[in-house]
């Protein structure tokens, strides 16, 4: 598999807060990656850096062999932000049509895609309601539908399952695995550790550094535990011990 995203010695600080510290990693085509860590640990900053939305203190990021930021590459990435960026005066369907227009989706394909993504997030019966009347969970689901709307080779989802019920969360992850099998490269950030039991690769981020990077099953085996949450606790203890030496 070829590398589609590469981070080379990437660092980013906000004032005295060192959010990303000299991170280097390669993400291969077709991988489904869970980027996990507690809130405020740098997950959103890493996604923003990959998109070219923030200026790095040092290092370099390439996506599809292009240095970021790059407008052409951005058009090939499906993105769901942690904060919903929706037009609340429009209906759910109108929001989907608007963002699809930015993606230049043909009319017939657009109708089919809107039907498909609205069913994935269980909004098919609420598409013609104004978004100002949506609940917080419905807004998250609409944001996810927009991210899945284009046939993008890369999909970046920042906390996509926050505010949605457990049954729908299972449905969303089933769709992500389906997209993964079709060859998409997907990165999902979450602080819910058990959501990443079925990904190709877990990246654990703590204090601005990648403290673990492997298959979830391999990490559980290496640390002799039965869950990713326990792996995270163990790696945190190991990291803290190393810092004290």
Could you tell me whether strands 17-28 and 3-14 are parallel, antiparallel, or unpaired per DSSP bridges?
antiparallel
- Burial of residue 101, with CB atoms counted within 10 A of its CB: 0-12 exposed, 13-18 middle, 19 or more buried: exposed
Name the pLDDT band for 107 (thresholds 50, 70, 90): low
Mean pLDDT of 96-119: 80
What does the DSSP assignment read for 62-105? EETTEESS-HHHHTTEEEE-SS----TTSBHHHHHHHHHHHTT-
Token pair, residue 68, equals 């970021």
- Burial of residue 148, with CB atoms counted within 10 A of its CB: 0-12 exposed, 13-18 middle, 19 or more buried: buried
User: Which of 97, 74, 81, 186 lies closest to 139 in space, CA to CA?
Assistant: 81
Mean pLDDT of 226-236: 85
CATH number of 1-76+155-160+187-245: 3.40.50.300
What is the per-residue pLDDT for 105? Answer: 62
Q: What is the DSSP letter of 57?
A: S
| pLDDT tens sequence across 27-83 | 999 999 999 988 778 899 999 999 999 999 999 999 999 999 998 898 889 898 888
Question: Cα dihedral sign for 60, 63, 66, 72?
Answer: negative
| pLDDT tens sequence across 131-149 | 999 988 889 889 989 988 8
What is the per-residue pLDDT for 21? Answer: 95
Q: How far apart are CA 85 and CA 152, in angstroms?
A: 19
What is the model's pTM?
0.87
Report whether 78 contacts 156 (CB < 8 A): yes
Q: How far apart are CA 191 and CA 188, in angstroms?
A: 10
Report whether 34 contacts 205 (CB < 8 A): no
Map out the domains of the chain as residue ranges.
1-76+155-160+187-245
**Which run of H or of E encompasses 238?**
helix 228-244
What is the per-residue pLDDT for 240? Answer: 56
CB atoms within 10 A of CB 14: 10
Could you tell me whether strands 3-14 and 58-63 are parallel, antiparallel, or unpaired per DSSP bridges?
antiparallel
Report whether 86 contacts 143 (CB < 8 A): yes
Token pair, residue 41, equals 């640990």
Q: How far apart are CA 67 and CA 55, in angstroms?
A: 12
């Amino acid at each position: 598999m070829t590398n589609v995203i590469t981070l080379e010695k990437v660092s980013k600080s906000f004032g005295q807060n060192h959010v990303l510290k000299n991170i280097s990693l390669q993400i291969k085509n077709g991988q489904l990656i869970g980027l996990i860590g507690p809130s405020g640990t740098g997950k959103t900053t890493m996604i923003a850096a990959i998109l070219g939305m923030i200026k790095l203190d040092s290092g370099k990021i390439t996506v599809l062999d292009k240095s970021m930021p790059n407008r052409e590459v951005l058009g090939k990435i499906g993105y769901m932000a942690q904060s919903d960026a929706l037009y609340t005066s429009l209906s759910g369907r109108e929001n989907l049509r608007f963002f699809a227009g930015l993606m230049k989706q043909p009319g017939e394909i657009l109708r089919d895609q809107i039907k498909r993504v609205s069913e994935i997030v269980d909004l098919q019966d609420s598409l013609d309601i104004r978004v100002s009347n949506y609940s917080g969970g419905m807004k998250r689901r609409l944001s996810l539908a927009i991210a899945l709307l284009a046939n993008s080779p890369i999909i970046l989802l920042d906390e996509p399952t926050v505010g949605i019920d457990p049954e729908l969360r299972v449905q969303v992850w089933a769709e992500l695995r389906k997209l993964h099998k079709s060859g998409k490269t997907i990165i999902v950030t979450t602080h819910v550790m058990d959501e990443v039991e079925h990904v190709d690769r877990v990246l654990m981020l703590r204090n601005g550094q990648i403290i673990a990077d492997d298959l979830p099953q391999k990490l559980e085996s290496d640390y002799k535990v039965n869950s990713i949450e326990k792996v995270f606790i163990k790696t945190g203890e190991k990291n803290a011990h190393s810092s004290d030496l």
